[in-house]
Structure 1
């Protein structure tokens, strides 16, 4: 999968050290409320459509761009689902990332779902009751998307819980 040029430039300076990046998680629903998933080429796991925001890119536009790039599906971004700082992740090459994940519910409006880049080995629609396992933050986004117009989720400061 291609690494954005700005990340390549930063990695040239910091190596594999932890890098904070902003990303999007798109819960894409079709007219039958099926969920679009991609089977990741790096892990072979099924996942919601995700990606890294470019510097200065609006998060909703980034979600729309990532879905189109990865699946060939054009979406309308309907609403914000969540904002969450994820635990430190380590890529197979040793790069460490602190992701700020911004989740959106999206509605497919055009295009046929297909593998559209090298980030996925398979793309498919799933009924919500027949979903493969997803990471916890993606499960949370999915639940919020299927709950209708629930308020966006965020982690409250520890002192306010």
Structure 2
């Protein structure tokens, strides 16, 4: 039998305010607009990881509400667990990881994010979680 495949697990938070806007960041490393998130640490729960990542990237504390989707980057072997959250504190304009932090509506998200990330925001407004695969930019159909 061959070697078992290796995957990385990440978490992200779709923080939704009372006007149905979502909290997004412009990453320092690649300039892309995304939701706050990152690699889950060993020994850390999914929810604790979401709270930590959102705080590190936006300065905001959040309440984690529910899982909204599981997404796999087929090329890089990254599995992302995405959770809908509500704000529980204030945010800051920029952090070490985000050069810009702001609220966007879903139309703005569709315009500025790659399809593989914009769909995560849209999925957070559905009642059931989704599972999707992508190549880092575009969604990939799987059977």
**Between Structure 1 and Structure 2, how many residues are aligned?**
130
Whole-angstrom CA distance in 2 between matches of 1:83 and 1:42? 24
Q: Normalising by structure 1, what TM-score?
A: 0.72
Structure 1 unmatched ranges of 5 or more: 1-17, 90-97
Map 1:1-161; keep pairs closer than 5 Å.
20-89=7-76, 98-116=77-95, 118-131=96-109, 132-147=111-126, 149=127, 151-154=128-131, 161=143
Deviations 1:28-83 (A, max 9, x none): 11122211111011111111112110012111210111001110111111110111
Distance 1:33-1:72 versus aligned 2 partners, 3 A rule: same
Mapped partners of 1:76, 1:22: distance in 2: 21
- SS of 1:64's equivalent in the other structure is helix
User: SS at the partner of 1:146?
Assistant: coil
Measured on the aligned residues, the alpha-carbon RMSD in Å equals 2.2
| TM-score normalised by length of structure 2 | 0.80
- Structure 2: gaps (5+ residues): 134-142
Give runs of ≥4 in structure 1 deviating > 6 Å.
none
Check whether the contact 1:21–1:99 (CA below 8 A) recurs between aligned residues: yes
Q: 1:137 to 1:59 in 2, by over 3 A?
A: farther
User: What is residue 137 of structure 2 aligned with on the other side?
Assistant: none
Q: Which structure carries more helix by proportion?
A: 1
| Structure ID, larger Rg | 1
Name the CA shift for 1:133/1:19 in 2 (closer, same or farther; >3 Å): farther
Other structure's SS at 2:124 match: helix
1:140: how far off? 2.2
